[in-house]
């Protein structure tokens, strides 16, 4: 399958899953207009875009779809890769494909092309990445630190780690709500990753969002609070193979926070 055909599968998935909402968000008046525009931008046949959308339809029930035959590995991989992403996240990738912006991101492009390949193995993807030992130690260190020092804010500490809501803890007082995302480093330096949900929430909440960075966790832990990380950090957007969007901050940038 040609590369532009593989990329079209992601758009077809988005159209099938979100149906009329997808048309509205992409500013298409109707289905025919969407098929024409997509075919012109990606240099694929108009009826192919329609057919690819229909192949995903049995998953969502908007139309009868191609229920007579099983989905090919490439279609199945795209569906599994995107099943835990929300509409804005998928739309962002679709818009990057339609605008050609994805072509400037070689890593992200290669990941998308690899997933939408009939020769790629089909794997079931998990909704959440399990926290490793370093992360758990960092979270426990923060809990104890907040109990003693009431930082970064005083108030009731609410554990939200298992809710997948874009932050690990909420600090609630009569004045405000504050959100804390804990990141742990085994050594004294290194980079960190944000999920797309975490980074979007940091962008939305700004001063009400703080990253608690616990470094050197295996020896003498050091804690650093980064309030409003959206202002202070400049991460690089990555599209990893499971198509979980993350934002990476290099260790060199973290070293300048306290300068």
Better pLDDT: 86 or 28: 28
Mean pLDDT of 24-33: 96
Whether residue 210 lies inside any domain: the answer is: yes
- Average pLDDT over the chain reads 84
Whether residue 92 lies inside any domain: the answer is: yes
Q: What is d(CA 18, CA 93) in angstroms, rounded to the nearest whole number? A: 14
Checking if the pLDDT of 40 tops 50, the result is: yes
User: Do 159 and 49 fall into the same domain?
Assistant: no
Q: Tokens in use for 58?
A: 């049995």
Question: CB count, 10 Å around CB of 115?
Answer: 23
List pLDDT tens digits, range 50-61.
Answer: 999 988 887 777
Q: Are 119 and 73 contacting, i.e. CB atoms less than 8 angstroms apart?
A: yes
User: Do 52 and 94 fall into the same domain?
Assistant: yes
Q: Which domain holds residue 99?
A: 3-115
Cα dihedral angle (22, 99, 197, 152), rounded to 10 degrees? Answer: -140
Q: What is d(CA 219, CA 214) in angstroms, rounded to the nearest whole number? A: 11
pTM of the full structure: 0.55
Q: At 123, is the pLDDT very low, low, confident or very high (cuts 50, 70, 90)? A: very low
Checking if the pLDDT of 154 tops 50, the result is: yes
Whether residue 128 lies inside any domain: the answer is: no
Whether residue 125 lies inside any domain: the answer is: no
Q: How many domains does the chain have?
A: 2
Question: Pick from 65, 85, 115: which residue ends a domain?
Answer: 115
User: Do 108 and 217 fall into the same domain?
Assistant: no
What's the pLDDT at 39?
A: 96
Whether residue 73 lies inside any domain: the answer is: yes
Better pLDDT: 85 or 198: 198
List pLDDT tens digits, range 8-21.
Answer: 999 999 999 999 99
User: Do 79 and 162 fall into the same domain?
Assistant: no
Mean pLDDT of 141-157: 95
User: Do 109 and 140 fall into the same domain?
Assistant: no
List pLDDT tens digits, range 227-254.
Answer: 999 999 988 776 555 556 667 677 777 8
Checking if the pLDDT of 68 tops 60, the result is: no
List pLDDT tens digits, range 79-115.
Answer: 888 877 788 888 989 999 999 998 887 778 888 888 8
What's the pLDDT at 158?
A: 95
Q: What CATH number has the domain bearing residue 146?
A: 3.40.1350.10
Phi, psi (rounded to 5 degrees) for 172:
-115, 125
Whether residue 120 lies inside any domain: the answer is: no
Percent pLDDT > 90 in the chain is: 48
User: Do 94 and 13 fall into the same domain?
Assistant: yes
Better pLDDT: 47 or 56: 47
DSSP states of 76-91? HHHHHHHTTS-HHHHH
């Amino acid at each position: 399958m040609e590369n532009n055909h593989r990329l079209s599968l992601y758009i077809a998935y988005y159209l099938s899953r979100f149906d009329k909402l997808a048309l509205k968000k992409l500013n298409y008046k109707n289905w025919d207009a969407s098929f024409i525009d997509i075919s012109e931008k990606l240099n694929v046949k108009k009826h192919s875009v329609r057919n690819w959308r229909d192949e995903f339809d049995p998953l969502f029930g908007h139309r009868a779809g191609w229920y007579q035959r099983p989905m090919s590995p490439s279609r199945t991989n795209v569906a599994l890769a995107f099943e835990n992403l929300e509409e804005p996240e998928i739309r962002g990738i679709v818009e990057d494909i339609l605008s050609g912006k994805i072509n400037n991101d070689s890593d992200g492009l290669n990941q998308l092309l690899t997933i939408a390949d009939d020769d790629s193995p089909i794997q079931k993807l998990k909704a959440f990445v399990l926290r490793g030992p370093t992360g758990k130690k960092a979270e426990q260190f923060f809990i104890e630190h907040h109990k003693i020092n009431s930082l970064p804010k005083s108030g009731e500490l609410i554990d939200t780690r298992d809710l997948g809501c874009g932050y690990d803890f909420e600090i609630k007082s009569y004045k405000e709500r504050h959100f804390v995302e804990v990141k742990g480093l085994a050594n004294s330096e290194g980079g960190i990753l944000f999920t797309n949900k975490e980074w979007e929430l940091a962008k939305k909440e700004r001063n009400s969002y703080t990253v608690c960075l616990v470094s050197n966790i295996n020896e003498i832990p050091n804690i650093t609070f980064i309030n409003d990380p959206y202002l202070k950090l400049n991460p690089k957007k990555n599209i990893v193979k499971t198509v979980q969007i993350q934002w990476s901050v290099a260790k060199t940038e973290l070293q300048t926070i306290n300068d």
